Chain A
Amino acid sequence: MAGTETGSRAEADGLADVAAGLDALDTPVERGTPWWRRLLTRAVPPVVAVLAVLAVWQALWAAAIWPEFKLPAPAAVGEHVGDLVGDGEIWGVLWVSVHRAVLGFLTAVIIATPLGLLVARVPLLRNAVGPLITGLQSLPSVAWVPAAILWFGLTPATIYAVVLLGSVPSIMNGLMSGLDQVPPLLTRVGKAVGAGPLTSARLVSLPAALPGYLAGCKQGWAFSWRSLMAAELIANSPQLGVGLGQTLEQARAMNSMSGVIAAILLILLVGISIELLVFRPVERRVLRGRGLAGAV
């Protein structure tokens, strides 16, 4: 008996060694790239691209194909932006637009999240309004502006209504498709470990749907920003303050092409900055944590 005991012990140790060897051979290797290399491969190409665009622009201006009031020099636009920054006017303008967009976006998240959950989980609702929500995404939110002006007049309510109508469907859609894409196996595992519907939603479905939800939020932000610009461009009134959209419209009214381009560049810059500084890192973290690092 003692003999077989030691025999099986030795066998078990051998097994442990083989198992450990297999683990070592089979474990995915993670390749870390140094930060400076990442910076080099990520930051340099876009900078080069921007410089190239500037060079082409400069060349076109120098060729004087179009008159100055149609295509100003890059330097003239830069001067315009410099003036805006110099007299501090830019901060007020940015504040008006950005705080509205952020507030509108956050409200959209608060509205869209429970609604999205509800629609995703109630089959009847899903069939009824699901296609509508997807369809709403392809409706340019500028189409809502006239309606909103008639409803709310030239007040901030108009602007927020347009922002919400633009971004809520995107966020709902992201959440719904995130929930649709939860692998059925995970739901089954949740059931097998004893989770009821609510616990399963909290511990399995919602975390599993997070990447889709984040993608929806990212798109929702883009839609908020676009809708806001559409609303600001059209709804001009002292009551509404001066945001980037109004700045753009004023520049057009004054026939200042460099002002127009400066405003467009600022609108672009804000959109890209929020995307790069807020959404990209969050999304990256979530995807990395799940081994989906192929993305970003």
Chain B
Amino acid sequence: MTAVTDTTTSPQRADSPEREVAVRLRGVGRSFGAGPRSVVALDGVDLAVRAGEFVCLLGASGCGKSTLLNLVAGLDEPTAGSVDVSTGRPAVMFQEPGLMPWLSARRNVELPLRVAGLGRAARRAVAEELLDLVRLGGQGSRRPHQLSGGMRQRVALARALACTRTGATGLPLLLMDEPFGALDAITRDILQAELLRVWRATGAAVVFVTHDVREAVRLAERVVLLSSRPGRVVREWTLRSSGGDGGAALGPTGVAEAEVTEEITTALREVISSHGRH
């Protein structure tokens, strides 16, 4: 625990005035259960995600990534600190698509809009648009079981994005909990590229949870490393500084990317092995 210190590679960005803050966590803690057997999943987490920013939360299994994401999603309440989300309803995606098997792809995408009480025509228009965005235009009438794993996860992405269209204005926020973890390598590769495309097209802030360093380095503008039990922010790396201009790769390409992957992997290993020692 003492081996790694809090070092934010570009601390001035955290309070950078030119981009609005979409999510701010201050001293967030979450423990489960009470008494001596309680589990402290998160402790003193400070994190700010700016509008349009792509942040990857990286950490070993069980370090509290999902817990953190659930707090931001409003599916759970922190036991300490505060979570402020300045966007409308966030779009949430899980590892499994979680599509309703009795609804067609289009009606699945319409679900958040139905919950929000939108009219049939408006729902349909938004759903068609979002299905086009994830390249599933014309597949809307299919049921989940008639789609491949990758297609299902894209329907789930479209449905998540529909949450950001439920009327409340504001910056879109996309929360993803290891969304490609259950896919094969080829499909995952394609979907990562698709996600970057959708991110650029929508200008959404993304909080992407993963335990895969490569995935984090490929996708993120900023990688946040969490320690385990309790989960704390250990270190951050700013890889790209797009400033929202379409993600021009100022950050790692080729050699630099390999170097950063190496560095983050080393840090992750250090965090994990510090657990075995005490």
Is B24 part of the contact surface with A, judged by Cβ < 8 Å? Answer: no
Q: Judge if A124 is at the interface, Cβ distance under 8 Å.
A: no
Question: Which residues of chain B are near A30, meaning CB under 8 Å?
Answer: 146
Q: Chain A interface secondary structure, helix, strand, loop or mixed? A: helix
Are A15 and B194 closer than 8 Å at their CB atoms?
A: yes
B96, B116, B143: which contacts A185 (Cβ < 8 A)?
B96
CB of B168, distance to nearest CB on chain A (Å): 10
Query: Given A186-B98, A210-B102, A290-B143: A22 and B92 within 8 A (CB)?
Result: no
- Cβ contact of B112, chosen from A20, A26, A188, A193, cutoff 8 A: A193
User: Quick check: A193 and B163 within 8 Å, CB to CB?
Assistant: yes
Binding stretch for chain B, among A41-49, A68-76, A91-99, A201-209: A201-209
Is A195 engaged at the interface, CB distance under 8 Å to the other chain? Answer: yes
Residue of B nearest to A8 (CB): B246
A192 at the interface (CB under 8 A from B): yes
Beyond A15-B193, A28-B145, A28-B148, whether A194 also contacts B112 by CB under 8 A is yes
Which residue of the partner chain, among B96, B145, B148, B163, contacts A291 with CB atoms under 8 Å?
B145
Given known pairs A192-B163, A195-B115, the reply for A20 and B135 (CB within 8 Å) is yes
| A132 interfacial by beta-carbon distance below 8 Å | no
Minimum CB–CB distance for A191 against chain B, Å: 6
B211 sits at the interface (CB 8 A): no
- A138 at interface (Cβ–Cβ under 8 A)? no
Q: Judge if A289 is at the interface, Cβ distance under 8 Å.
A: yes
Query: A12 at the A/B interface (Cβ < 8 Å)?
Result: yes
A-B residue pair count with CB separations less than 8 angstroms: 90
Q: Once bound together, how far apart are the Cα atoms of A193 and B110, in whole Å?
A: 10
B1 in the interface, Cβ–Cβ < 8 Å?
no
Q: From A191, which residue of chain B is reached at the shortest CB distance? A: B75
Q: A137-148 CB contact bits vs B (8 Å, 1 = yes)?
A: 000000000000
If A19-B194, A192-B163, A193-B159 touch, whether A185 touches B148 (CB-CB below 8 Å) is: no
Q: A65 to B73, alpha carbons, bound, how many Å?
A: 77
Whether B187 pairs with A192 at a CB distance below 8 angstroms is no
B148 contacts A26, C-beta separation under 8 Å: yes
Nearest B residue to A186 via CB reads B98
A124 to B101, CA, bound (A): 31
- Please tell me if the beta carbons of A188 and B94 are within 8 angstroms of each other in the complex: yes
Contacts from A to B (Cβ < 8 Å): 12, 15-16, 18-20, 22-23, 25-28, 30, 183, 185-186, 188-189, 191-195, 199, 203-204, 207-208, 210, 286, 289-292
Other A-B contacts than A23-B148, A28-B147, A290-B145, 18 sampled, CB-CB below 8 A, are A15-B197, A19-B194, A22-B186, A185-B96, A185-B98, A191-B75, A192-B73, A192-B75, A192-B163, A193-B115, A193-B162, A203-B111, A203-B114, A203-B115, A204-B100, A289-B102, A289-B143, A290-B101
30 residue pairs from A and B, CB less than 8 Å apart: A15-B190, A15-B194, A15-B197, A19-B194, A22-B148, A22-B150, A22-B190, A26-B148, A26-B150, A26-B187, A27-B148, A28-B147, A183-B98, A185-B94, A185-B96, A192-B73, A192-B160, A192-B163, A193-B162, A194-B89, A194-B166, A203-B114, A204-B100, A208-B102, A210-B102, A289-B102, A290-B102, A290-B143, A291-B143, A291-B144
Q: Rank and list the top 5 A-B pairs by shortest CB-CB distance, nearest first.
A: A291-B145, A26-B148, A193-B112, A290-B101, A192-B92
Residues of B in contact with A (beta carbons under 8 Å apart): 73, 75, 89, 92, 94, 96, 98, 100-102, 111-112, 114-116, 135, 143-151, 159-160, 162-163, 166, 186-187, 190, 193-194, 197
